Amino acid sequence: MSGESKPTSDVTANTDQPLPKPKRWWRNPWWFLSPFWLCFVSFWFGFETLLLRNIPMLILMIAIIGGMWFIPQLATWRLGKLEKDKRQHLKAFGHVGLIMCGWLLYFCVISLFMRYCVPYVVISPETTHVTRPLNDEGFIDVIAALEERFAAKCKPEDNGFRFLLERFGMVEMYRDSSPEQQKFFGGILNEMLAIPGHNVPDAVYQSPYQFFEERFKADENTDDDAEQAVSLSDRLNEKMNPLFERPWDGAAMLEMAEWFAANNKALDLFGEAVRFPDYYAPIVRENKRTLLRELSDFDLRFARELVYGLQCRVMHSLTIGDTDLAIHDAMTIARLADARMRHATSDFHFATAVGFREKAELAFIDIIRHGDLSSEQLIRLRDERQLHDFLMPVSDLVFQTRMRLMQIQFEMMAFLPDFLTLQSSPPSTYETTMYFWVAPLLKTTVWTPVLKDLQKKFDAWDEIATQPPGKRQIEAFSSQYQRHEMASNLHGNMMTLVQQYMWKGQAVTAFQIISDFNLSLEYPLFLSAVTAHYKTATRSRLLNIAIALELYKHDHRHYPASLDELAEKYLATIPDDPFTDGEPFHYRLEPQPTTDSHDATDSHEPQPGYLLYSVGSNSRDDDGVSGDDWHPQPADEEPAEAEPLPTGDDIRIRMPRERLPQKITGQDREVYFFRQE
């Protein structure tokens, strides 16, 4: 069949078809997915890893990403003779499995590497601010660092606290602690302070509150009409407030005679203790991992009760005309406040010292107001209190907050939350599960950049602390607080989170968010400490001016018309208001009432007094109205028809002090408890 075409050979057919192009390396799909892998690496490990700032994480990244490429290629080569579709399925399955194995490798290898080869954080000024001392875990020992900066360096025999502990004993001084704690801490304190083992305490103390509480309880047991009786706390307040506010009447002198007979020795011993070269209660740790838990907190009640007793004795001394003893007792409170201020290891101890100092200054005002002081006594009062007028600088407050935040970060690193380490009962299943899953992540997180960022924020606080004290410094701290609040709120913004993830990595960013959140929670406490610092400085300057005004009055028989008349002779310089940028305190003369129920025997025409005040934390002149003012509401006046009461937060000294009504009822009792000036 000539018309039939002959079939072409295989060779001819193969030569007619185009030959396949050789596969080039750039056509590999892995190269087309390189942007995806770059984004993945940046998202999880962060650009800090790619910029060689995190070498351990870089090594792990190379191992994971390299393994995810090499092992599937090896599997494809070994299974190359299989059919194409089966090879593709195995290859896809290998990719998924390898990703999961990569995460497992991440948690296992980096956990071991971080645990045994890399510390939780690099100890350096950029990350931890202080570089010593270290604890057993290799991190900064926060309590030891605070003790190194603020603790007294005196010998045990020069420590007034040791003298007090010898005379009163652990049971008396640490009433709020349990017998087990008293025994445990007592042994440590006796060793630290070198107290002789045969020492037997020989002093006891009962506060005026306890004295009247026992009497009122005894009265209530014999009271037939218990429903009409005033509650015990109200009766205590009504009895105690006059003892702190004004010289006593005959009834108070008789009631307190028994108390003085039993407690004068204890008050004298306390005055002797604070006049040692130093007065410092050492820090005794209950738990090395506990956040700034100190034994010295337990003795606060004992110190407060002694201060209450000294306040009572100041008023008693002014009543009987013993001004020297009143000055001595007021200086005892001032010395205690000065010692606690110098050795305040936390913001709580700082606040306690501020409270004692305020009570001392109120006692000084009472002495000026009710005592007939000579010029020599005024000069001695001025000179002695200036020796014990220490005020912790703002930079130390920044250091305390910095150390507290570092301790919180360390507990996060070691995953030592209170509910797992400090609770008496065993952890629940949920808590154990959380520990199992969260602990590896916390331990493998690279904390160095987190702490670096934290220290940068505190460095900004330190720069503000070096500024001259005044309104600008306060506003600078307030602006920092607003910035921290904004940063905390921005962490809820997804775009901000993505940006931080892309730069620092998922693991680091997650815990940096927690750090910023902790910082935003701690900052209000720091701001309150700064405000207390300024209020304390303000009251100290006002008291210096008040003493100078009394010296002027002693020489001229009247107060000056302006503070400028005190310059040079009575004050080297006229202090300005700390809540302003160099502005003076407000001062004006005030006419005094012609009758005073407490000075009815005085037939002389009252001399004009004065009002001296600071604008306070709101930086606004409120005309001397204090935030603690109590305005009694007339009983026959409806609340809706009453005029709005003046408000303000000025800090003032008024001579003479306005008297408060003695009889109050209902909800006003709580307000009446506070001291008015």
Condensed to tens digits (0 to 9), the pLDDT of residues 575-630 reads 999 999 889 999 999 887 654 444 444 445 567 889 999 999 888 888 888 765 54
Residue position matching structure tokens 């990719």: 95
pLDDT of residue 70: 66
Average pLDDT over residues 111-140: 76
Written as six digits, the tokens of 190 are 């006796």
State mean pLDDT over 635-659: 64
Helix (H/G/I), strand (E/B), else coil: 581: coil
In the beta sheet, which residues pair with residue 590? 609
CA distance 477 to 473: 6
Q: Phi, psi at residue 611, to the nearest 5°?
A: -125, 120
CA 513 to CA 519: how far, in whole Å? 10
What confidence tier does 112 reach under pLDDT thresholds 50, 70, 90? low
Please tell me whether residue 64 adopts helix, strand or coil conformation.
Answer: helix
Side-chain-facing half-sphere of 274: CA atoms under 13 Å? 22
Backbone angles phi, psi at 294, to 5 degrees: -125, 145
| 3-class DSSP state of 654 | strand
pLDDT of residue 586: 94
Higher per-residue confidence, 471 vs 289 = 471
Residue with the larger pLDDT of the pair 380 and 490 = 380
Using pLDDT thresholds of 50, 70 and 90, give the confidence band for residue 189.
Answer: confident
Query: In whole angstroms, what is the distance from residue 560 CA to residue 608 CA?
Result: 10
Assess whether pLDDT exceeds 80 at residue 44: no
Is there a contact between 208 and 312 (Cβ–Cβ < 8 Å)?
yes
**pLDDT of 380 over the 90 cut:** yes
CA distance 612 to 547: 12
Average pLDDT, integer, range 117-128: 76
* pLDDT at position 100: 65
- pTM (global) more than 0.85: no
Give me the pLDDT at residue 102, please. Answer: 67
* Residue 163 and residue 272 in contact, taking contact as beta carbons nearer than 8 Å: yes
Per DSSP, what are the bridge partners of residue 587?
A: 612
Q: How far is CA 61 from the centre of its chain?
A: 41
Tell me how far apart the alpha carbons of residues 454 and 449 are, in angstroms, rounded to a whole number. Answer: 9
The answer on pLDDT for 126 being more than 70 is yes
- Residue 426, pLDDT score: 61
The pLDDT of residue 306 is 95
**Residue 296 DSSP code:** G
pLDDT for 639: 46
> Rounded mean pLDDT of 256-262?
93
- Average pLDDT of span 473-496: 67
pLDDT at 493 over 80: no
Please check the confidence at residue 188 and state whether its pLDDT lies above 60: yes
CA 37 remoteness from chain centre? 46
The C-alpha atoms of residue 316 and residue 338 are separated, in whole angstroms, by 24
Q: How confident is the model at residue 510 (pLDDT cuts 50, 70, 90)?
A: low
pLDDT at 60 over 90: no
Report the candidate in 296, 314, 281 with the shortest Cα–Cα distance to residue 208. 314
With a pLDDT cut of 90, the percent of the chain lying above it is 32
The span from the CA of 172 to the CA of 201, in Å, is 9
The tokens describing 534, both together, are 């300024």
Rounded average pLDDT over 391-413: 87
Q: In sequence order, what are the residues at sequence separation of 6 or more whose Cβ sits closer than 8 angstroms to the Cβ of residue 554?
A: 373, 374, 375, 378
pLDDT score, position 298: 74
The whole-number pLDDT of residue 631 equals 40
Q: Can you tell me the distance from the alpha carbon of 158 to that of 152, in angstroms, rounded to the nearest whole number? A: 10
Give the pairing of strands 651-655 and 586-590.
unpaired
Lowest-pLDDT choice from 237-251, 326-340, 562-576, 584-598: 584-598
Alpha helical stretches, state H, 321-447: 323-342, 347-370, 375-387, 394-413, 418-421, 429-444
Tokens of 168: 């009163």
Distance in Å from the first CA to the final CA of the chain = 134
Cα atoms in the 13 Å half-sphere on the side-chain side of 142: 24
For residue 135, the model assigns a pLDDT of 78
pLDDT of 117 higher than 60: yes
Report whether pLDDT(349) > 60.
yes
C-alpha distances out from residue 348 to 141, 294, 341, 414, 627, Å? 19, 11, 11, 25, 23
C-alpha span between 305 and 209 (Å, rounded): 8
pLDDT at 213: 86
Instruction: Tell me the average pLDDT of the chain.
Output: 76
Q: Measure the CA–CA gap between 132 and 145, rounded to whole angstroms.
A: 7
Say yes or no to pLDDT of 513 above 80.
Answer: no
Rounded Cα gap, residues 278 and 300, in angstroms: 17
- Residues 53-69 have a mean pLDDT of 65
Q: What are phi and psi of 210, to 5 degrees?
A: -65, -35
pLDDT above 90 (res 522)? no
* Contact (Cβ atoms closer than 8 angstroms) between residue 350 and residue 404: no
Name the band, by pLDDT with cuts 50, 70 and 90, for residue 447: confident
Overall residue count recorded for the chain in this entry: 677
- Asked which of 293-302, 477-486, 668-677 is least confident by mean pLDDT, the reply is 668-677
Please state, in angstroms and rounded to a whole number, the distance separating the CA atoms of residues 184 and 533: 35
436-440 average pLDDT score? 61
How far is the C-alpha of 426 from the C-alpha of 424, rounded, in Å? 7
- Two structure tokens written together for 474: 């306060």
- pLDDT value at residue 662: 38
Nearest CA among 54, 226, 677, 150 for reference residue 403 = 150
